[in-house]
């Protein structure tokens, strides 16, 4: 069995800024580094390298997602908002909770992360690997069609699923979201689509 790994160090450059928790910008709460930072994912990659497991993986080159790809699950208005914030120096994207920030040029990194999911699924469906993991950030299971949420800019998993359905003629897909939080964004994209089953554990 050949397992693929979609990885690009540039995804680790995603700038989430300082984090205040639910009291965004409160003068009474000291900001901390965002919990969604590069440290955890770099640790995973370093462990794969140090243990020798990387040598047993097939590295998948990531192609950034295109705007057309993004529009498979997100609204044009939301994509325009991500562009505006990215080009104006960065800032908060989330309308609720204020937990999703990008820095200057953050759109490019978010497109790279989304492209990691697409590249991983494409490698599996093209028969290059039997399974794959996209070790990318920003993450993507909370992003809804029209807004960022929970550190997620684009719906990476939903994009990968829609890519499989539309570009590879797959009839049905299932998402098993194994995380502490409900994958609300993926569910929202496929809420009325009978071709997809979403499960959050």
The structure tokens listed for 130 are 């039997």
The structure tokens listed for 193 are 């689509």
The structure tokens listed for 112 are 């790279």
Asked if the bond preceding 138 is cis, omega within 30° of 0, the reply is yes
What is the set of active-site residues?
Answer: 142
Q: Which residue has the tokens 């029209």?
A: 146
Contact between 100 and 153 (Cβ < 8 Å): yes
CA distances to 32, 94, 151 from 154, in Å: 24, 12, 10
The sign of the torsion formed by the CA atoms of 108, 114, 66, 88 equals: negative
């Amino acid at each position: 069995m050949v397992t693929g790994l979609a990885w690009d160090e540039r995804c680790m450059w995603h700038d989430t800024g300082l984090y205040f928790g639910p009291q965004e910008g409160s003068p009474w709460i000291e900001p901390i580094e965002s919990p969604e930072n590069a440290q955890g994912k770099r640790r995973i990659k370093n462990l794969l390298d140090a243990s020798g497991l990387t040598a047993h993986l097939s590295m998948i080159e990531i192609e950034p997602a295109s705007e057309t790809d993004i529009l498979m699950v997100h609204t044009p208005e939301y994509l325009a908002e991500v562009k505006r914030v990215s080009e104006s120096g960065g800032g908060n994207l989330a309308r609720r909770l204020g937990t999703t920030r990008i820095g200057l040029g953050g759109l490019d990194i978010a497109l790279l992360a989304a492209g990691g999911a697409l590249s991983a699924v494409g490698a599996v469906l093209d028969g290059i690997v039997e399974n794959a993991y996209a070790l990318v950030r920003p993450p993507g299971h909370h992003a809804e069609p029209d807004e960022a949420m929970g550190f997620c800019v684009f719906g990476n998993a939903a994009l990968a699923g829609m890519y499989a359905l539309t570009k590879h003629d797959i009839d049905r897909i299932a998402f098993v979201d194994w995380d502490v939080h409900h994958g609300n964004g993926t569910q929202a994209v496929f809420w009325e689509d009978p071709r997809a089953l979403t499960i959050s554990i």
